């Protein structure tokens, strides 16, 4: 039996993946004409899918909204998350083409939300650790890690895994609000410092200027800063994050892969 907090959390992420900010009381969408995170992330996914197709991976897929969007544009998609209730919900949606959940209104008062989700036969949802994913190297043409970086205990390993799973010439889609928490990740592992904020730090890693020993080399295709990502906890609690979203192309094979025999 789900607890109130677990049901509320699932409803929060299902809202974010499938409902967006349509009833946002703060009208964040209208601020300076910004598109919300869901809209921008789907735009990035759709553009790359149209151009390249192939196999895609959504690391930290949560309840599967972006993996299902990838499936509309790619040949095959794997969605990976370590949180079983979210993976279970995503897999059930993929089978039934329907999402039904309870959205928290206040306290232990919920309302039922139900909508159709186009079913897709080319998605597989897997419960696994994003830091130790069960795939071969260079298995994917597109790898996404949306708002996952600050939720793992060693963020640099996550970037290394994303790179290892991506084919040369493939597309990396990444986003983060850099909302570091000591309960999830020791401050010594945070990918920013007093001289360089998170977005510049990540860009430096991908371009091979920060931690050059990783031998990464990506070309940045597009970046968006301050993209509003709104999570509705209940009627009186909305969290707004300003997200860094980027698309990068892997333009050179890593040296450690080149040296394999």
Query: What is the pTM (predicted TM-score) of this model?
Result: 0.89
Among 206, 67, 89, 209, smallest CA distance to 145 is for 67
User: 241 pLDDT exceeds 90?
Assistant: yes
The mean pLDDT of 67-73, rounded to a whole number, is: 91
Strand-strand pairing, 76-81 and 98-106: unpaired
pLDDT digits (tens, 9 = 90+) for 53-68: 699 999 999 999 999 9
**Cβ of 82: how many Cβ atoms within 10 Å?**
15
Residue 117, burial from CB neighbour count under 10 angstroms (0-12, 13-18, 19+): middle
User: 28 pLDDT exceeds 80?
Assistant: no
Among 66, 33, 22, 2, smallest CA distance to 232 is for 22
Q: Which residues pair with 76 in a beta bridge?
A: 55
Helices and strands in the chain: count of H runs, count of E runs: 7, 9
Among 242, 216, 212, smallest CA distance to 229 is for 242
Residue of 181 and 254 predicted with greater confidence: 181
How high is the pLDDT of residue 22? 59
């Amino acid at each position: 039996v789900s607890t109130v907090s677990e049901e509320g959390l699932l409803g929060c992420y299902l809202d974010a993946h499938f409902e967006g900010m349509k009833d946002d009381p703060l009208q964040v969408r209208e601020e300076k004409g910004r598109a919300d995170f869901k809209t921008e992330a789907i735009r990035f996914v759709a553009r790359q899918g149209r151009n390249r197709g192939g196999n895609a991976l959504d690391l930290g897929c949560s309840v599967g909204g972006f993996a299902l969007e990838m499936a509309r544009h790619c040949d095959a998609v794997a969605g990976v998350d370590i949180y079983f209730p979210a993976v279970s919900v995503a897999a059930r949606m993929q089978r039934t083409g329907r999402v039904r959940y309870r959205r928290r209104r206040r306290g232990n008062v919920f309302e039922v939300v139900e909508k159709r989700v186009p079913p897709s036969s080319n998605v597989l949802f897997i419960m696994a650790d994003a830091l130790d994913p069960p795939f071969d190297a260079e298995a994917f043409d597109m790898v996404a890690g949306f708002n996952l970086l600050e939720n793992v205990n060693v963020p640099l390993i996550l970037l290394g895994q994303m790179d290892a799973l991506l084919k040369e010439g493939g597309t990396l889609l990444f986003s983060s609000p850099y909302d570091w928490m000591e309960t999830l990740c020791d401050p010594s592992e945070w990918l920013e410092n007093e001289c360089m904020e998170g977005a510049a730090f990540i860009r430096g890693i991908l371009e091979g200027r920060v931690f050059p020993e990783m031998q990464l080399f990506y070309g940045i295709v597009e970046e968006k800063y301050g993209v509003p990502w709104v999570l509705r906890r209940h009627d009186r609690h909305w969290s707004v994050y300003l997200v860094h979203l980027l698309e990068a192309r892997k333009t050179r094979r890593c040296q450690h892969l080149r040296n394999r025999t």
